[in-house]
Amino acid sequence: MTTPRKIPVFSPIIGREETEYVNDCLSTHWISQGKYVKQFEEEFSRYSGCQYGIATNNGTTALHLAAVALGLKAGDEVLVSTSTNMASAFAMYYQGAIPVPVDIERDTWQLDVKQLERKITAKTKAIEVVHLFGHPVDMDPVLEIARKHDLKVIEDCAEAHGAEYKGRKVGSLGDLACFSFYANKIITCGEGGMVTTNDKALADRVRRFGNFCYGDKQKFMHDDVGYNYRLSNMSAALGLGQFRRLEQILERKREIHARYQKNLTGVRGFNIPAIRPWAKSVMWMFNVYLTPSEFGMTRDELCRNLAEMGIETREAFVPINKQKVFLSKGLVREDDCPVANDIMETGFYLPSGLTLSHDDIDYVCDAIKKLARH
Ligand SMILES: *Cc1c(COP(=O)(O)O)cnc(C)c1O
């Protein structure tokens, strides 16, 4: 009997450099803070087109520090791509700011910039774009609207390390940007994050608030209520090792995407999101959405069937405007963002781990084609 296959949605690759750098922390006893934090900050922020990088202990705390640094406070409104990891919305809400959901485009799943202006009120202070699944948002119109209405721009780059908008790296396009280095992100620290910016004053605020607002003259006389959101030297060591293989990882992502696309293009009702000609997407995960009437079953039915064949999938995000916790507070309207609401029901992603073989991909594609109505 053959052992049944198990294909997880994701698995990272951890190589020699990562092991070497982490072991260096252990053997030198520089485990909390040390040279790897600084090196990781410098190299990653430079790569992302920024002068300043501040490492944090995860992507959510990076986003919270962005909100703190911009001075967001109770009652302020922040326009946010509605289809996202709730960290994007929660981090604003930690400051009392209200995340205002903005719908996405069906063919790219990215913020629909045409919907932005009608959501602006006297309370709007910032726009938070999310480069979802590694595809950049159409930033020129976003920046134009921000200038016109005097709004700050935060980029949520948690899924988009290395992505480019018209030849410019994401992470350097708004006032502040936030990355995540969770295990399934493009590169990982285990848990980790980073804020990048070209604004020195903002960088200083992020660093100060993320490191407890220690006093300058008298260390333990804090000059404000700060947070401990620091990244450890061990995590940064892992992150630096991962950063050194970023190009290899991005190449793997391209390969995986290309093979899925080749195998699955033309399956009726099985829709692969578009990539804009001006975009360099890093294809975080192979995300798709179904048209159930054409495909012959619903997303949930398909994913159940795939699970029985050992193929793990992950359903699309529940948008901000559908979150019970925000609905119960009267902050959002459920039917506000119809496209994201539809993607929530029909969207999902296929296994996109870095150790996936061609044979694994073909196995997944054959399974889907067998299940599709012909
Ligand atoms: C993962 C993710 C985050 C949060 O990052 P953590 O490191 O898990 O806290 C925020 N935004 C988006 C879009 C994400 O995918």
Strand partners, 350: 286
Find out whether the beta carbon of 180 lies less than 6 Å from any atom of ligand 1.
yes
* C-alpha to C-alpha distance for 77 and 80, rounded to whole angstroms: 9
DSSP letters for 300-357? HHHHHHHHHTTB--EEPPPPGGG-HHHHHTT---GGG-HHHHHHHHHEEEE---TT--
- 293 and 327 assigned to the same domain: yes
Residues 6+ apart with CB under 8 A from 200: 51, 52
Average pLDDT over residues 22-51: 98
- 268 and 167 assigned to the same domain: no
- Residue 163 forms part of a structural domain: yes
* C-alpha to C-alpha distance for 327 and 334, rounded to whole angstroms: 7
- Residue 85 forms part of a structural domain: yes
- 148 and 293 assigned to the same domain: no
Average pLDDT over residues 46-69: 98
pLDDT band of residue 68 (cuts 50, 70, 90) is very high
- 72 and 143 assigned to the same domain: yes
User: Among 243, 260, 275, where does a domain finish?
Assistant: 243
- 236 and 325 assigned to the same domain: no
pLDDT at 3 over 70: no
Determine the residue of 93, 182, 284, 352 to mutate for testing ligand 1's pocket, defined as the one with the most ligand atoms within 8 A of the Cβ atom. 182
87-113 pLDDT, tens digit per residue, is 999 999 999 999 999 999 999 999 999
Q: Whose CA is nearest to atom 2 of ligand 1?
A: 158
- 282 and 226 assigned to the same domain: no
DSSP letters for 246-269? HHHHHHHHHHHHHHHHHHHTT-TT
Q: Which two tokens mark 13?
A: 């690759």
User: Among 203, 225, 243, where does a domain finish?
Assistant: 243
- 264 and 135 assigned to the same domain: no
- 32 and 176 assigned to the same domain: yes
Count how many Cα atoms sit within 13 Å of the Cα of residue 277 in the half-sphere of its side chain: 0
Strand partners, 154: 128, 176
End-to-end CA distance of the chain: 31
290-333 pLDDT, tens digit per residue, is 999 999 999 999 999 999 999 999 999 999 999 999 999 999 99
- 266 and 203 assigned to the same domain: no
Q: Containing domain of residue 212, as a range? A: 16-243
Rounded percentage of the chain residues whose pLDDT exceeds 70: 99
Q: How many helices (H) and strands (E) does the chain have?
A: 13, 14
CA of 59 relative to ligand 1 center, distance in Å = 5
Q: What is the CATH number of the domain that holds 154?
A: 3.40.640.10
- Residue 11 forms part of a structural domain: no
User: Among 243, 267, 282, where does a domain finish?
Assistant: 243
- Residue 35 forms part of a structural domain: yes
Q: Is residue 74 classed exposed, middle or buried when 0-12, 13-18 and 19+ CB atoms within 10 A define those classes?
A: exposed
- 210 and 260 assigned to the same domain: no
Find out whether the beta carbon of 81 lies less than 6 Å from any atom of ligand 1.
no
Query: Which is the closest atom of ligand 1 to the Cα of 61?
Result: 9
Query: Which is the closest atom of ligand 1 to the Cα of 184?
Result: 1
pLDDT at 220 over 80: yes
- Residue 7 forms part of a structural domain: no
- To the nearest 10 degrees (0 to 180), the angle between helices 233-243 and 35-47 is 40
- Residue 130 forms part of a structural domain: yes
pLDDT band of residue 131 (cuts 50, 70, 90) is very high
Q: What is the pLDDT of residue 1?
A: 58
Q: What is the CATH number of the domain that holds 258?
A: 3.90.1150.10
Residues 6+ apart with CB under 8 A from 20: 241
- 234 and 114 assigned to the same domain: yes
Q: What stretch of H or E contains 273?
A: none
CA of 60 relative to ligand 1 center, distance in Å = 6
Chain-wide mean pLDDT for the chain? 97
Q: What is the pLDDT of residue 373?
A: 86
Q: What is the pLDDT of residue 40?
A: 98
* C-alpha to C-alpha distance for 77 and 73, rounded to whole angstroms: 9
Sequence-ordered strand ranges (E) for 57-211: 77-81, 98-102, 124-130, 152-156, 164-165, 168-169, 176-180, 193-197
pLDDT band of residue 2 (cuts 50, 70, 90) is low
**pTM exceeds cut of 0.95:** yes
- 87 and 182 assigned to the same domain: yes
How many structural domains comprise the chain? 2
Average pLDDT over residues 69-87: 98
CA of 180 relative to ligand 1 center, distance in Å = 6
Q: What is the pLDDT of residue 361?
A: 98
Find out whether the beta carbon of 134 lies less than 6 Å from any atom of ligand 1.
no
CA of 84 relative to ligand 1 center, distance in Å = 9
